[in-house]
């Protein structure tokens, strides 16, 4: 029997049911894919077509397939925060590098932004001063470990300071940087400070700005605490504060910048970091 005849007999036996490619269903429309009548894959605006509508899972925001902004757990893009007038200056006198255990002789705070700590380091008096808008001043305790490092950097000197309590989990009494690079010689700032650990953030959302020497970019610094993981970053000309009930940390970043070539001045570093970090006991 010819093929066409067999097909006719099948259709007759099905009665009212549709048969054959492109046949109509009960509501009179075609079940054929791609005919534009609302079936999946028609490309006519229905979810699931893969044509860019929400729910297609094809990379469009809102699909719930992992794109930023879907509300499905993916982190939002980091936004640049505007600069604030912050100060983070420190001095160590005598200025020679040193490391060792020191006893607290005295400390004084002027109630605004001036602080002084006088230490007895193996019979030598060492004075540490701060000029800063940081939310908390240091809490040294009776004995501390002091590590002060310096390194020539052209016309300037890079400086790093870490003071830890001898007791109380080696808490960071004061961490300070005034340098053309974040990490001190022979180590990283995260190892030098302990907690909070500061690194250059992987994401840098701030657009370059311009001064008399050319373009520069305000940097974001990643902040993490071993017991609590990574927190929000802190930006150039920014403050960071966290209170973990028993204790907390405050960070003040006066500068964290990187110059964009070409640089029109020969007396400025390519990068500069000026910051303070302190541990404090919670009230």
Look up tokens 């719930």; give the residue. 64
Residue numbers in the chain where pLDDT is lower than 50 = 1-41, 43, 48, 50, 52, 54-55, 57, 59-66, 69-70
**Contact (Cβ atoms closer than 8 angstroms) between residue 195 and residue 226:** yes
Tell me the per-residue pLDDT of 73-95, one tens digit each, with 9 for 90 and over.
666 888 999 999 999 999 999 99
What pLDDT does 46 receive? 52
Question: From CA 4, how far away is CA 205, in angstroms rounded?
Answer: 68
Nearest to 115 by CA among 135, 86, 145, 142: 135
For tokens 């990068």, the residue is 271
pTM, full prediction: 0.73
Both tokens of 228, joined, read: 């609590």
Task: Give the span between the Cα atoms of 23 and 18, in whole angstroms.
Answer: 6
Looking at the chain, list the stretches that DSSP marks H as alpha helix, in order from N- to C-terminal side.
3-14, 189-193
Mean pLDDT for the chain overall: 82
Are the C-beta atoms of 133 and 113 separated by less than 8 Å? yes
User: What's the sign of the alpha-carbon dihedral 178, 90, 124, 164?
Assistant: negative
Which tens digit of pLDDT belongs to each residue from 228-247?
Answer: 999 999 999 999 999 998 89
The answer for residues whose C-beta is within 8 angstroms of residue 212's C-beta and 6 or more apart is: 264, 265
């Amino acid at each position: 029997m010819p093929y066409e005849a067999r097909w006719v007999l099948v259709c007759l036996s099905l009665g009212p049911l549709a048969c054959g490619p492109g046949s109509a269903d009960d509501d009179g429309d075609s079940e054929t894919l791609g005919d534009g009548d609302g079936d999946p894959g028609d490309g006519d605006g229905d979810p699931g077509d893969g044509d860019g509508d929400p729910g297609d899972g094809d990379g469009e925001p809102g699909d719930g397939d992992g794109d930023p902004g879907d509300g499905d757990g993916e982190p939002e893009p980091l936004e640049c925060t505007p600069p604030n007038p912050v100060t983070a200056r420190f001095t160590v006198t005598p200025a020679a590098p040193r490391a060792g255990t020191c006893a607290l002789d005295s400390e004084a705070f002027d109630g605004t932004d001036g602080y002084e700590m006088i230490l007895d380091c193996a019979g030598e008096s060492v004075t540490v001063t701060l000029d800063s808008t940081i939310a908390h001043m240091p809490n040294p305790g009776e004995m501390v470990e002091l590590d002060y490092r310096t390194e020539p950097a052209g016309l300037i000197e890079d400086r790093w300071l870490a003071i830890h309590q001898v007791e109380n989990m080696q808490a960071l009494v004061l961490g300070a940087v005034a340098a053309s690079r974040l990490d001190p010689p022979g180590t990283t700032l995260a190892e030098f400070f302990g907690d909070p650990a500061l690194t250059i953030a992987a994401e840098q959302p701030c657009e370059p700005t311009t001064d008399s020497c050319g373009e520069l970019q305000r940097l974001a610094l990643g902040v993490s605490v071993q017991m609590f993981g990574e927190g929000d970053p802190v930006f150039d000309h920014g403050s960071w504060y966290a209170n973990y009930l028993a204790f907390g940390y405050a960070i003040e970043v006066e500068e964290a910048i990187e110059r964009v070539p070409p640089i029109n001045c020969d007396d400025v570093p390519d990068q500069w970091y000026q910051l303070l970090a302190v541990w404090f006991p919670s009230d």
